[in-house]
């Protein structure tokens, strides 16, 4: 009989218990033993949930105090020098220091800035980047995994420890000035010790995660895989190498041939790997098929999945394992926490996904059992209802999309002509100054929003409060002497959620939290069905703001690609289709703003770069539809209306052509931390439109003086013609306070003025 297992379970807790415990610990309100107690309770609860769901083999090692990669760095002793305390063993506070940084005046112990956070593959989860030095040594130094194995076994569970594999671990780290692959020989002995120790604890199977096998790998890394796993082969326990987030493609032969006992592949992202994989897999190996989507919230199509699994079971017999596609870290915990609603029957969260895996295995063994037949019939009925639901399929939306023609994605005139009309209309000085959109989200703003949500503030009272914030923001900007003003986004909780709440076809959960990093969680909206905008979304606020000033006021929207990337998307229609529906909804808003006299409209595409597929072969297809979605939402305006876009910290080199094809009149980008080097891509490409490179970093409360910003602008002028250069901060100011914001913007305006005198 096949085995039902899981690659990892969300650690944050159904009610974000871990978040709350961590934050109270950091505030000093509970001690370490209380924090550890919460961790133990969560682990016990999560194992029990998975076992009750019917899984045979449970993951251990998926729990982390802040982040799994960080925990792994501690386990192999990769602790940056600045956080080492002599020869002392690392503690939980070492771990938190690496995650959060310690200022030197604080406690006398080791201090320094936190390690960098970055996105975990193409998910919205962020991991702590390991820092490797040339003299890097590794030693087994953090017993968490072994303790948790004992803990789970004491509770009577059959467990499979999960460890990040050596190649993926090195790949994810950063090494200054040398090839990190050189560290492999030093790292492997520690893996040997880990495996020996687990074997000593009586562990039968261990899961080694090697997600980089789904990436385009340099030859040196491919060869290193063989070397590394050959060395680990002698450890006296069975090894399952887990791959996910994509297909193995050119790494298929390599992965299938590694000298280990099993391989997990992601059949949700890359269904075409089956049945091909059967031809490659040696006859002694276990094949784990990831068939339940760990990255999304939809119920699995059990009939369809069973077809694949039956075929696999016939060939593999006992050697077939069944699992979610990847760790369930990326989906919410338990659907039973939500209030009953029609849409919920279509959803499955982590607990429900474990049940699906168990049911699939059961259906293979006992297809005629009454319970199995009932469950399959239920699944069929639910999927059929969804396929014909009017909440999902909206003929008007589809008809409108079908009627879209290429001309809808074309501005009336080319940039050179448009910019002339815009300059004529806007009458801006050289090097116009502006901001990215948001101004400080003060406690007063958040309280007003909460009071409104809870009904303590009427609609009119709330509107007046927000209008007060708009007046304040506009007045401050006028006093600072900025050229293009914004309304400040006081009314927005979040740049995606705010719009999703007003677009028909989105659904929201109450407890659908997913860990983003550390104690931070997000609750992504769900794209339930066809999307459209029933009524204007921002017109009241932005229209009001425009009445408060004679200066041009920039209307602020979130773009279709970002709306899509930061939501749970549908699986029954393509990403492109969803982006186009969103584009039409935003296009309507753009046109309403234009009609209300708003002369500049910014459409933020913060997630544009991060939407790129993991493998290069997929880039062009993505860029084509992503660019077109932007053009579709923005191209309906007249030549005199100026379209801006904004992108956060991105590597633009390889996508500069696509950025140019978006054809925004102005793009503002985050560059200050790269000393304007990010502009090199724009210079080399001869990027034709206007650009606002960020001149100061909004992530820090530090107020840079104007000479610093002026120096950056001088660097920018070397790469961008002066008549096309804007002056603005790196990103929105919502996380800053007013005092530092005003001080920094005053210096920025002064830098722009000095620049005007010089050029
Ligand atoms: N307009 C948004 C803001 O200023 C942009 C945020 C972002 O780029 N992440 O907050
Ligand atoms: Zn930004």
Tokens matching residue 191:
């893996």
**Any ligand 1 atom below 6 A from CB of 734:** yes
Question: In angstroms, what is the span from residue 619 Cα to ligand 2's centroid?
Answer: 22
Report the relative pairing of strands 526-532 and 504-507 from DSSP bridges.
antiparallel
Look up residue 588 and give its two tokens: 């309507």
CA-wise closest residue to 302 among 389, 392, 374, 244: 374
Catalytic residue among 391, 393, 408, 699: 699
Partnered with residue 557 across adjacent β-strands are 603
Mean pLDDT of the chain: 96
Report how far ligand 1's centroid is from the alpha carbon of 647 (Å): 9
Q: What is the DSSP string of 554-577?
A: EEEEE-HHHHHHTSBPPSSS-HHH
Q: How confident is the model at residue 458, as a pLDDT?
A: 98
Yes or no: say if 487 and 474 are a contact pair by the CB < 8 Å rule. yes
Helix (H) or strand (E) holding 693: strand 690-693
Q: How many A from CA of 732 to the centre of ligand 1?
A: 4
Could you give the angle at the alpha carbon of 421 between the alpha carbons of 415 and 422, nearest 5°? 80
Check residue 651 and give its pLDDT. 86
Residues pairing with 175 in the sheet: 132
pLDDT for residue 201? 98
ipTM for this prediction? 0.99
Nearest atom within ligand 1 for CA of residue 436: 4
Q: Is 699 a catalytic residue?
A: yes
- For the chain, which ranges sit under pLDDT 70? 105-108
Task: Please name the helix (run of DSSP H) or strand (run of DSSP E) that holds residue 680, with its range, or none.
Answer: helix 680-685
Does ligand 1 come within 6 angstroms of the Cβ of 556? yes
pLDDT of residue 106: 60
Q: Quote the CA–CA distance of 266 and 246 in Å, as a whole number.
A: 6
CA of 490 to the centre of ligand 1 (A): 12
The per-residue pLDDT for range 40-86, each reduced to its tens digit, is 999 999 999 999 999 999 999 999 999 999 999 999 999 999 999 88
SS3 for 653-691, per residue? HHHHHHHHHHCCCEEEECCHHHCCHHHHHHHHHCCCCEE
What's the DSSP call for residue 129?
P
**Is 558's C-beta closer than 6 angstroms to any atom of ligand 1?**
no
Residue 262 is predicted with a pLDDT of: 98
* Euclidean distance between CA atoms 416 and 420, whole angstroms: 7
Q: Extract the tokens encoding 751.
A: 């830098």
Q: Is 732 in the pocket of ligand 1 (CB under 6 A)?
A: yes
Distance CA 288, CA 166 (A): 20
Write the DSSP symbol of residue 579: H
Q: Whose CA is nearest to atom 3 of ligand 1?
A: 732
Nearest-CA residue for ligand 1 atom 10 is: 732
Q: CB–CB of 141/72 below 8 Å?
A: no
Ligand 1 atom nearest to CA at 438: 4
The pairing of strands 690-693 and 286-292 is: unpaired
Which pLDDT belongs to residue 86? Answer: 85
179 class by beta-carbon count within 10 Å (0-12 exposed, 13-18 middle, 19+ buried)? exposed
Whole-model pTM?
Answer: 0.96
């Amino acid at each position: 009989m096949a085995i039902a297992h899981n690659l990892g379970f969300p650690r944050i807790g159904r009610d974000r218990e871990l978040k709350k415990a961590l934050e109270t610990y950091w505030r000093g309100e509970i001690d370490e033993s209380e924090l550890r107690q919460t961790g133990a309770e969560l682990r016990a609860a999560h194992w029990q949930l998975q076992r009750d769901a019917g899984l045979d083999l449970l993951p251990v090692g998926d729990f982390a105090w802040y982040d799994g990669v960080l925990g792994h760095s501690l386990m192999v002793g990769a602790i940056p020098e600045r956080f080492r305390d002599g020869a002392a063993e690392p503690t939980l506070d070492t771990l938190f220091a690496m995650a959060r940084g310690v200022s030197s005046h604080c406690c006398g112990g080791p201090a320094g800035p936190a390690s960098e956070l970055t996105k975990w593959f193409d998910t919205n989860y962020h991991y702590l980047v390991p820092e490797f030095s040339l003299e890097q040594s590794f030693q087994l130094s953090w017993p968490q995994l072994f303790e948790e194995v004992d803990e789970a076994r004491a509770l009577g569970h059959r467990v499979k420890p999960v460890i990040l594999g050596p190649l993926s671990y090195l790949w994810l780290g950063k090494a200054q000035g040398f090839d990190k692959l050189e560290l492999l020989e030093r790292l492997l002995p520690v893996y040997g010790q880990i495996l020996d120790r687990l074997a000593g604890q009586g562990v039968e199977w261990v899961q080694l995660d090697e997600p980089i096998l789904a990436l385009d790998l340099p030859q040196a890394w491919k060869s290193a895989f063989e070397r590394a796993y050959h060395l680990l082969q002698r450890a006296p326990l069975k090894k399952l190498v887990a791959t996910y987030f994509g297909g193995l493609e050119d790494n298929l032969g390599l992965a299938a041939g590694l000298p280990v006992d099993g391989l997990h592949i992601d059949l949700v992202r890359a269904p075409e790997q089956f049945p091909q994989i059967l031809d490659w897999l040696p006859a002694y190996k276990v094949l784990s098929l990831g068939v339940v989507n760990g990255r999304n919230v939809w119920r699995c199509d059990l009939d369809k999945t069973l077809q694949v699994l039956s075929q696999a079971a016939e060939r593999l017999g006992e050697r077939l394992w069944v699992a979610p596609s990847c760790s369930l870290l990326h989906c919410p915990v338990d659907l039973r926490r939500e209030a009953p609603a029609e849409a919920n029957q279509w959803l499955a969260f982590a607990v429900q996904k474990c049940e699906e895996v168990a049911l699939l295995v059961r259906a293979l063994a006992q297809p005629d059992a009454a319970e199995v037949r009932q469950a399959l019939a239920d699944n069929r009925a639910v999927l059929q209802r969804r396929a014909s639901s009017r909440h999902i399929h909206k003929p008007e939306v589809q008809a409108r999309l079908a009627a879209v023609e290429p001309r809808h994605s074309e501005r009336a005139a080319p940039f050179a002509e448009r910019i002339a009309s815009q300059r004529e209309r806007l009458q801006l000085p050289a090097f116009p100054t502006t901001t990215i959109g948001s101004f400080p989200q003060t406690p007063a703003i958040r309280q007003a929003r909460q009071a409104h949500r809870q009904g303590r503030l009427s609609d009119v009272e709330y509107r007046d409060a927000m209008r007060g914030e708009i007046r304040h923001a506009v007045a401050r900007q006028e006093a600072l002497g900025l050229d293009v003003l914004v309304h400040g986004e006081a009314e927005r909780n979040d740049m995606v959620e705010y719009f999703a709440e007003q677009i028909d076809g989105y659904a929201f959960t109450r407890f659908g939290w997913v860990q983003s990093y550390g104690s931070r969680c997000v609750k992504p909206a769900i794209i339930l069905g066809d999307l459209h905008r029933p009524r204007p979304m921002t017109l009241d606020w932005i229209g009001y703001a425009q009445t408060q000033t004679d200066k041009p006021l920039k209307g602020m929207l979130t773009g279709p690609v970002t709306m899509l990337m930061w939501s749970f998307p549908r699986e029954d229609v393509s990403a492109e289709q969803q982006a186009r529906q969103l584009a039409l909804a935003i296009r309507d808003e753009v046109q309403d703003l234009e009609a209300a006299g708003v002369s500049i409209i910014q459409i933020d595409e913060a997630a544009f770069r991060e939407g790129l597929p993991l493998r290069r072969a997929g880039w062009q297809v993505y860029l084509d539809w992503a660019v077109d979605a932007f053009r579709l939402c923005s191209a309906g305006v007249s030549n005199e209306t100026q379209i801006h876009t904004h992108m956060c910290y991105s590597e633009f080199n390889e996508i500069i052509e696509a950025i140019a094809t978006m054809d925004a009149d102005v793009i503002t980008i985050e560059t200050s931390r790269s000393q304007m080097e990010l502009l090199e891509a724009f210079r080399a490409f001869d990027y034709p439109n206007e650009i606002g490179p960020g001149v100061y970093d909004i992530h820090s409360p530090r107020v840079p003086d104007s000479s610093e910003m002026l120096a950056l602008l001088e660097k920018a002028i070397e790469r961008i013609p002066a008549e096309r250069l804007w002056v603005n901060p790196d990103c929105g100011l919502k996380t800053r306070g007013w005092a530092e914001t005003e001080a920094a913007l005053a210096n920025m305006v002064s830098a722009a003025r000095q620049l005007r005198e010089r050029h």
